[in-house]
Amino acid sequence: MECGRRGTLYWRAHSGVPALAMLLIALMLGVWVTQALEMSVGKVPFLVAVNGSTVLLPCTYASCIGIKNLYFRWQYNDNGTMYTLCDSVIPEDGVDPQVTIWRERVEFVGKKNNVSILLWNITFEDAGQYTCYGRNPKEKGRNHSAIFTLEVVDELKVVDNTLTVIIASAVGGVIGLFVTFMLLKNLTLFIISKIEEKNKECLVSSSGIDNTENGLSGSKADSKPTPKKA
């Protein structure tokens, strides 16, 4: 007990912070890490779209402790220069924000924790990286961002499945040949077994006939002895 007290006194004397306070700080740091704001553009952060079409740029936010006056914005990276497409402040969860649109052909379509936008009538100049950024004052200004990449093409390429079809046909042919081989093998074995059975029957029959002709005992009824004359 004395050692424990000395250790505690030594800790307080040299650190100036009670052990309980250090434990609380550690727990708070752990909570802080698990409650951090996260912006997400989905599992597939890119899209290939046809020139002149309308595309959705997805983005959602998440925070374990909720939000308070969450600031978000969409930006477009034009060769290193960042242009803001739209931005707003979400007062709290479930409240629709009043979004300010800074560029043409941009429409905000987000609801609840969704801050996605539509980009209308895209051109080749719209290709590039789009950043969804968020900052949550409720987490002491914790911020996070996610990047979505857009590629614009004249037309979507038709996937050539010729090789896949050839491989599938080859595999199917091999399987078919194997099945045919197994059927022929089983049929051949069946015919051979029947032939062997018939040969055995023939051998047995012919052995009985030979024994009869050679006069062997048991092959035919024994002749009765000639009766003696009186």
The first and second tokens of residue 215, run together, are: 């006069």
* Together in a domain, 74 and 117: yes
What's this model's pTM, rounded to 2 decimal places?
Answer: 0.58
Which of the four pLDDT bands, split at 50, 70 and 90, describes residue 183? Answer: confident
pLDDT over threshold 70, residue 213: no
* Together in a domain, 131 and 162: no
What is the structure's pLDDT at 170?
76
* Together in a domain, 135 and 46: yes
Residue 47 near residue 60 (C-beta atoms within 8 A): no
**Hey, what long-range contacts does 101-106 have (CB within 8 A, 24 or more apart)?**
103/76, 106/74
26 found inside a domain: no
- Nearest-angstrom CA–CA distance, 84 and 148: 14
pLDDT over threshold 70, residue 31: no
pLDDT over threshold 90, residue 230: no
* Together in a domain, 89 and 140: yes
Report, in this order, helix, strand and coil percent for the chain, each rounded to 5.
40, 25, 35
85 found inside a domain: yes
Residue 61 near residue 92 (C-beta atoms within 8 A): no
User: What's the first-to-final CA gap in the chain, in angstroms?
Assistant: 139
* Together in a domain, 98 and 168: no
| Domain assignment of residue 55, given as a range | 35-153
The first and second tokens of residue 22, run together, are: 């250090």
What's the mean per-residue pLDDT of the chain?
A: 80
Q: What is the pLDDT of residues 34-83, one digit of tens each?
A: 468 999 999 999 999 999 999 999 999 999 999 999 999 999 999 999 99
120 found inside a domain: yes
* Together in a domain, 141 and 166: no
Domain count, the chain: 2
Which of the four pLDDT bands, split at 50, 70 and 90, describes residue 27? Answer: very low
* Together in a domain, 40 and 143: yes
5 found inside a domain: no
- Nearest-angstrom CA–CA distance, 73 and 210: 108
